[in-house]
A = this chain, B = another copy of it.
Amino acid sequence: MSETDNKITSYFDTRTTVRRYSDKPVTPELINSLLASAAHAPTTGNMQLYSVIVTTSPEGKAALSPAHFNQPQVKNAPVVLTFCADFHRFCRWCEERDARAGYDNFQSFVTAMIDTVILAQQFVTLAELSGLGTCYLGTTTYNAPQIAEALSLPEMVIPVTTVTVGWPEEKGEDCGRIPANAFIHQETYSDYDAQRINDIYAEKEARADSMKFVAENNKQTLAQVFTDVRYTREANTYFSQVYRDFINRHGFPFPPVEE
């Protein structure tokens, strides 16, 4: 294996999310060039069903911030990128070319969403390989209506994920992963018994930061921190309705429920 290969492999195995950025500016040329390279990633039928909204102005960040529950990296990052599933541009093309688009449905939304996440991840890899730090914001699917309003998104353009970008002010914490054989299945899905669950999550549960989470939140187990504090049934149920209704009203009605 060559030195180049080693450098690349080492990046992929040691990358971490970075939430704090230095004051050093990130040039528009760099962002454009990274996004242009990222767009060579695979896309369904070469349709490129995405748009990226680049926010660098203080006003723009301030408008987005509440939708992301005022997580500090939105206002503090030099660049905030909102990755949107976009069938609007493609349908405009169809309209101009006497073609009758049939993309106002769930399947097309899912296709555009997959295209969008592929682009986002390819951008993140390219940005990190260039020395930038990045952080995904999962809040994008919670408060999509506010984000769409702040960014003037037309119908068929749905916010899917957001990435904050800047030169790292910190290294970022390695938060560990479950063993790969826990999510890899040979030929068919091999279900999990209690012993295998114990084995898979043992290392994660034994981490100092995990134990701190449990103690700080007055919980008995790490899993309870997820279910009772971080990703609760109440929040999930509420934001399921919000996101589903938004997608449906914003160009992608879902099919009627069949009884």
Binding site for B on A (CB under 8 A): 3-5, 7-9, 12-15, 17, 32, 35-42, 44-48, 50-57, 60, 86, 88-90, 92-94, 96-103, 105-108, 110-111, 113-114, 117-118, 120-122, 124-126, 129, 134, 136, 138, 141-142, 151-154, 157, 160-161, 175-178, 180-189, 191-192, 194, 197-198, 200-201, 204, 220-224, 226-228, 230-234, 236-237, 239-241, 243-245, 248, 254-255, 257-258
Q: How far is the CB of A3 from chain B (nearest CB, A)?
A: 7
CB within 8 A of A8: which of B8, B110, B154, B220? B8
Q: How distant is the Cα of A15 from the Cα of B126 in the complex, in angstroms?
A: 14
Flag if A185 contacts B53 (CB, 8 Å): yes
How long is the Cα–Cα vector from A194 to B237 in the complex, in angstroms?
Answer: 41
Q: Which residues of B contact A134 (CB under 8 A)?
A: 42
Please measure, in the bound complex, the distance between the C-alpha atom of A50 and the C-alpha atom of B180, giving whole angstroms. 11
CB-defined A-B contacts under 8 Å, sample of 11: A5-B129, A12-B40, A46-B176, A50-B183, A52-B185, A100-B228, A102-B233, A107-B237, A118-B121, A121-B122, A241-B255
